[in-house]
Amino acid sequence: MKYLIGFLVIVMMISCGGTKTYIITDTVHPVKATMETAPVPSNDDAADDPCIWIHPTDPALSTIIGTHKKEGAGLLVYDLAGNEIQSVQAGRMNNVDIRYNFPLNGESVALVTAGDRDLNSIAIYKVDPDTRNLVKVSARDIPLGLEDGVYGSCMYFSSKTGKFYAYLNDKTGKIEQWELFDNGAGLVDGKLVRTLKVDSQPEGCVADDIHGILYVGEEESALWKFAAEPDAETTKSLVDSVGNHVYPDLEGLSIYYANRNTGYLIASSQGNNTFVIYTREGNNDYVGTFQIVDGETIDGVQETDGLDVTNFGLGSAFPKGVFVMQDGTNPGTTQNFKCVPWESIANLFEPALIIDTTWDPRSIK
């Protein structure tokens, strides 16, 4: 009977979405979260993707910005104790990302963008460092050419040209690259500079600003990389096939900058509740796999959509950097975001991963 039920489950998975089953034999290293944010306002699958904003003078005042893809809020801002300090009333937001030193109205601002699924547009905010709140700075509701509606998104700062970009994708596999700029009146406008393509539904993406690489996860198929510059070739190269180390869906992606050249690329392996680490440089070799398990007061992490990581020390809570991720199941309440000190992850492995707080993401110019 047990065998029969197992067989039926596999048949259902194949017939429902073409999802294949995989056997992944990587060792999974367990670690516990030390902080979780307040739960999001809506039930079901409502939280999606976080990014970390680093305060300009006091890293302990840094925040976690999370997306909310249901009615009631678009973006949520949390302090490093997990308290909600702002709920932004806006459309349903999917993925969020941040870049520093964006020239706006004579100032240098931290720019935050997200894919707005209600408007099929790019939501564009700056962080007010005094209030730590997000302030809308988009010049208009930029009309994307994503006929299927915006899904995943991420940002790219070109250390080659000094220009800022947002990448946005839809479920057909179309990816648009938009250059973002001050419209001359202190607001941010965009122009489409390039279109890329993958064969099936993508979502998570992240760009390496130093190496000029865009990574895109095709959820049930593969992790790809493209050259990120707008005038580069549009051909993609394979980083890893889904089923090797990642169990579908391949979801959130982020980069740990250990210094200018080295570090790690981290992916959410949603289907088996794990996170997969690759080297940042070279051929993105597989490094290891970890999982957030139940702690005494903070539960473990399941079905993660988006994630972010920083090497930079964020005060006494996270002196050696932090890994933050969406948690799909938060017992007794709605979804939230969980945080793990980077050194707890780094020390799971033998040899330990790099722990280096000297790289400042705000220093990329």
Q: Which residues bind Ca ion (CB under 5 A)?
A: 45, 48, 203, 299, 305, 327, 329
Cβ nearer to Ca ion, comparing 45 with 343: 45
Cβ nearer to Ca ion, comparing 46 with 88: 46
Do the Cβ atoms of 258 and 359 come closer than 8 Å?
A: yes
Shortest spacing between CB 218 and Ca ion, in angstroms = 11
Cβ nearer to Ca ion, comparing 36 with 356: 36
Cβ nearer to Ca ion, comparing 248 with 263: 248
Cβ nearer to Ca ion, comparing 51 with 110: 51
Contacts of 139 (CB under 8 A, 6+ apart): 183, 185, 187, 188, 189
CA distance 220 to 160: 33
Shortest spacing between CB 228 and Ca ion, in angstroms = 22
Chain residue at closest Cβ approach to Ca ion: 305
Shortest spacing between CB 361 and Ca ion, in angstroms = 23
Cβ nearer to Ca ion, comparing 170 with 305: 305
Contacts of 349 (CB under 8 A, 6+ apart): 29, 287, 288
Shortest spacing between CB 253 and Ca ion, in angstroms = 11
Peptide bond into 351 cis (omega under 30): yes
Cβ nearer to Ca ion, comparing 32 with 245: 32
* Largest CA-CA distance found in the chain, in angstroms, rounded: 70
The residue whose two tokens read 């993105």 is 284
| H/E run at residue 28 | strand 28-32
Helices (H), ranges, 63-135:
none
DSSP SS3 for 344: helix
Shortest spacing between CB 46 and Ca ion, in angstroms = 9
Shortest spacing between CB 293 and Ca ion, in angstroms = 10
Shortest spacing between CB 101 and Ca ion, in angstroms = 28
Q: Phi/psi of residue 61, each to 5°?
A: -95, 15
CA distance 256 to 267: 11
DSSP SS3 for 15: helix
Count the neighbouring beta carbons within 10 Å of the beta carbon of residue 160. Answer: 11
Count the neighbouring beta carbons within 10 Å of the beta carbon of residue 199. Answer: 12
